[in-house]
Amino acid sequence: ADVPAPGDLTANDNCAGDITVTGSDSTDSSDPCNIIITRTWTFTDACNNSSSVSQTITVGDTIAPVAPSAPADITYECIADVPAPGDLTANDNCTGDITVTGSDSTDSSDPCNIIITRTWTFTDACNNSSSVSQTITVADTIAPVAPSAPADTSYECIADVPAPGDLTANDNCAGDITVTGSDSTDSSDPCNIIITRTWTFTDACNNSSSVSQTITVADTIAPVAPSAPADITYECIADVPAPGDLTATDNCSGDIVATAVDSTNDTDPCNIIITRTWTFTDACDNSSSVSQTITVTDTIAPVAPSAPADITYECIADVPAPGDLTANDNCAGDITVTGVDNTDSTDPCNIIITRTWTFTDACDNSSSVSQIINVIDTIPPQATNDLSDLSVVCSEIPEPPTLVFDECSGDVTIVDFVVTSTSDGSDSDYEIIWTWSVIDNCGNKDMIEQYVFVTNENFVTEISDSRCSEDGIIDLFDYYSGTDDSGTWVVESGDTTLDGNYFDPLDVELGDYIFSYSVMENGCLSTTQVTITVNDDCIVLPCGLEDVVISTAVTPNGDQYNEYFEITGIEECGFVIDIKVFNRWGAMIFETDNYQNNWNGSAHKSSVGGADTVPTGTYYYIVNLKNSGLKPITGYFYVGTK
């Protein structure tokens, strides 16, 4: 609009003189904010000769509209109080008046302090702009207006207290604010509960107001008790039923069920007084009670059972110990007692026992039953020993037993004891009969026997000896170690006869002669069998019986004294020493020819029960000094192997 209309310019033509023309505009408005106007004056003469000049006019709008003043900043309480944005008008150099409506930019990050920036922006067609702004603050600082609280009140029971109701306050921004009361309960004293009921009204910006009501709950009324059961009497304490329940009604707790508590006076256990009391107490210790009196008096005796039937026994030991019987008592139930015996033993062979069971309850009510027991001894004494028949070998015949009698036999006297044997002195088996005649103090007699069947054995002791024909008459008893000389020597082998117990080697040919001697010893047949070899090796040397020294004791204990059985004093005589050693039962335990003084009590295990040495004791020896012309030398010596 600022561009003037084209003016006139005058050119001078050679023919026409002055030619005046008005300028003509050519406009390029492709960019409306940078318009190019080319203003041209073209001078043309009558012959169409022309010339021209041009002016360029640029139209470029760079001035912003002139904005008015913005409204003053302002503060409101509520967002609803903020008016809608109004219009403002700016003046533009090209466009003229530009009227716009304000635009709000709201910062509500703090809803209780909202900042609204209200801006008016004026922009012309070429985008030249100006703006003004107003700040609007919305800050709610006014609390709701609370109503009056209900009046304070009191109740008996907590159940009587109604639930909190609603109250409504009015807020400048939120309008009506309705809330339900909230209770704060002080029940430190459950019987004087203080409830503070409060209604608090709070708007969105935490502006609040409140009102409160005080409610007191105090229970002062006792439960209403029912009637107690009627007084009653029982025989037994067990008949008394357990305390039952009664129910009272309480204003607050409702039904209160109480179990009775018994107070018992049992100073007289047969006349017990029970006071049964029901006490009804509510939570605030308001109470009421009722009582019943129960008397327990036992007057009935136990019912006794039948006593066992009367009975008779042979001996006092047969009488069983008193057993138990059981009566039934109305209060105590089963009463079991052991019988008590009253014994009349003035006649020990006809004893009378009265066995009584007495049943007494705790209140001295009693009953009893009795049994008569007679003890009459008619049986002879009975030995408790095992007197069955024995079968033994002759070397193991036991001693007759000492009789032991049963308890029923009382005082027993052994009148006679007889031992009978069927042995004929040979090696045949035989019997021994032990017979006892006995009587007890009640005059019962008996004869007791035990049979011992004996298997006979012949214990043979074999002895060998070598004698020179000129050694002289031999007494065969020199070879016998026993003490029974009632037997007879018999020739078992060899052509010879005996003169009793004497054998003369001069009367026989050289060779072996066997003799035996048998007697009964300790129940067994004992035979000594002597073999004598008759030779002619008699050499008379200047050595006699007086030169021979034979050990009397052997003690092989390592002390170098009496270690061996020794025959000394004849070392230079040239005799050959043959020896035999026998134990006290006539068994030969050692034998050797050409003895070298080297026996120290050793023995084959098979000869003395498995031991390595003979037992300590006295032993018998036969020493034959060959070529000496001397008779065999016999004697005893002691061996100590411990």
User: CA 365 to CA 300: how far, in whole Å?
Assistant: 6
Residue located via tokens 């209403």: 224
Question: pLDDT tier at 541 (50, 70, 90 boundaries)?
Answer: low
Residues contacting residue 96 through CB under 8 Å, at least 6 positions apart: none
Q: Is the pLDDT of residue 429 over 80?
A: yes
User: CA 223 to CA 257: how far, in whole Å?
Assistant: 11
User: CA 354 to CA 367: how far, in whole Å?
Assistant: 16
DSSP string, 395-423: GGPPPPPPP-B-GGG-SEEEEEEEEEE--
- At the topology level, CATH places domain 539-642 in Immunoglobulin-like (2.60.40)
Q: Give residue 604's pLDDT.
A: 64
Q: Is the pLDDT of residue 353 over 90?
A: yes
Burial bucket for residue 298 (CB in 10 Å: 0-12, 13-18, 19+) = buried
Give 561's Cβ-side CA count (13 Å radius): 1
Q: What is the mean pLDDT of residues 378-391?
A: 89
User: CA 366 to CA 490: how far, in whole Å?
Assistant: 93
Q: Is the pLDDT of residue 605 over 60?
A: no
Buried b (16+ CB within 10 A) or exposed e, 493-512: ebebebeebebebeebeeee
Apex 502 CA angle, 501 and 506, nearest 5? 155
Q: What is the mean pLDDT of residues 349-374?
A: 95
Q: What is the mean pLDDT of residues 25-45?
A: 94
Q: Is the pLDDT of residue 235 over 60?
A: yes
- Is the distance from CB of 296 to CB of 234 less than 8 angstroms? yes
- Nearest residue to 302 (alpha-carbon basis) of 352, 362, 220, 238: 362
CB atoms within 10 A of CB 72: 7
Question: pLDDT tier at 627 (50, 70, 90 boundaries)?
Answer: confident
User: CA 160 to CA 354: how far, in whole Å?
Assistant: 82
User: CA 121 to CA 229: how far, in whole Å?
Assistant: 101
User: CA 209 to CA 145: how far, in whole Å?
Assistant: 7
Apex 106 CA angle, 101 and 110, nearest 5? 160
Buried b (16+ CB within 10 A) or exposed e, 236-270: bbeebeebeebebebbbbeebebebeeeeeeeeee
Q: Is the pLDDT of residue 621 over 60?
A: yes
User: CA 590 to CA 587: how far, in whole Å?
Assistant: 9
Apex 226 CA angle, 225 and 227, nearest 5? 125
Residues contacting residue 406 through CB under 8 Å, at least 6 positions apart: 315, 317, 381, 382, 383, 384
The DSSP element (H or E) to which 51 belongs, if any, is strand 50-59
Sign of CA dihedral 541, 544, 547, 552: positive
Of the two residues 522 and 582, the one the predictor is more confident about is 582
Percent of the residues in the chain that have a pLDDT greater than 70, as a whole number: 98
CB atoms within 10 A of CB 313: 17
Q: What is the pTM of this model?
A: 0.38
| Tokens representing residue 432 in the block | 């021994």
Percent of the residues in the chain that have a pLDDT greater than 90, as a whole number: 71
- Is the distance from CB of 588 to CB of 531 less than 8 angstroms? no
User: CA 404 to CA 384: how far, in whole Å?
Assistant: 6
In this structure, whether the domain defined by 390-455 belongs to CATH 3.40.50 is answered with no
Q: Is the pLDDT of residue 540 over 60?
A: no
Give 514's Cβ-side CA count (13 Å radius): 7
- Is the distance from CB of 517 to CB of 500 less than 8 angstroms? no
What's the distance, CA 210 to chain centroid?
Answer: 67
Strand partners for 524: 521
Question: Residue 42, SS3?
Answer: strand
Q: Give residue 107's pLDDT.
A: 94
Question: pLDDT tier at 501 (50, 70, 90 boundaries)?
Answer: very high
The amino acid sitting at 60 is G
- Is the distance from CB of 26 to CB of 35 less than 8 angstroms? no
Q: Give residue 229's pLDDT.
A: 95
State the chain's mean pLDDT as an integer. Answer: 91
Q: Is the pLDDT of residue 72 over 90?
A: yes
Q: Give residue 457's pLDDT.
A: 83
- Nearest residue to 628 (alpha-carbon basis) of 578, 585, 590, 555: 578
| Three state DSSP letters for 543-579 | CCHHHCEECCEECCCCCCCCCCECEECCCCCCCEEEE
Q: Give residue 332's pLDDT.
A: 87
Q: What is the mean pLDDT of residues 218-245?
A: 92
User: CA 224 to CA 440: how far, in whole Å?
Assistant: 89
| Tokens representing residue 606 in the block | 């098979």
The domain ranges of the chain are 8-59, 74-138, 153-217, 232-296, 316-360+370-375, 390-455, 457-537, 539-642
Buried b (16+ CB within 10 A) or exposed e, 180-199: ebeeeeeeeeeeebebebeb
Sign of CA dihedral 262, 263, 265, 266: positive
CA trace torsion 145, 150, 152, 158 (10° rounding): -120
Q: Looking at the domain that runs over 457-537, which CATH code has it been given?
A: 2.60.40.10
Of the two residues 284 and 427, the one the predictor is more confident about is 284
Residues contacting residue 576 through CB under 8 Å, at least 6 positions apart: 593, 594, 625, 626, 627
Q: What is the mean pLDDT of residues 377-403?
A: 89
- Nearest residue to 274 (alpha-carbon basis) of 304, 305, 238: 238
Residues contacting residue 408 through CB under 8 Å, at least 6 positions apart: 314, 315, 316, 317, 318, 377, 379, 382
Q: Give residue 410's pLDDT.
A: 73
Residue range 80-108, pLDDT digits in tens: 899 999 999 999 999 899 999 999 999 99
Residue range 292-339, pLDDT digits in tens: 999 999 999 999 999 999 999 988 888 999 999 999 999 989 999 999
Question: Residue 79, SS3?
Answer: helix
CA trace torsion 252, 257, 263, 266 (10° rounding): 170
Question: pLDDT tier at 49 (50, 70, 90 boundaries)?
Answer: very high
Question: Residue 120, SS3?
Answer: strand
CB atoms within 10 A of CB 592: 13
Max CA distance (Å), the chain: 233
- Nearest residue to 283 (alpha-carbon basis) of 372, 358, 199, 220: 220
Residues contacting residue 233 through CB under 8 Å, at least 6 positions apart: 294, 295, 296, 297
Q: Give residue 581's pLDDT.
A: 94
Q: Is the pLDDT of residue 415 over 80?
A: yes
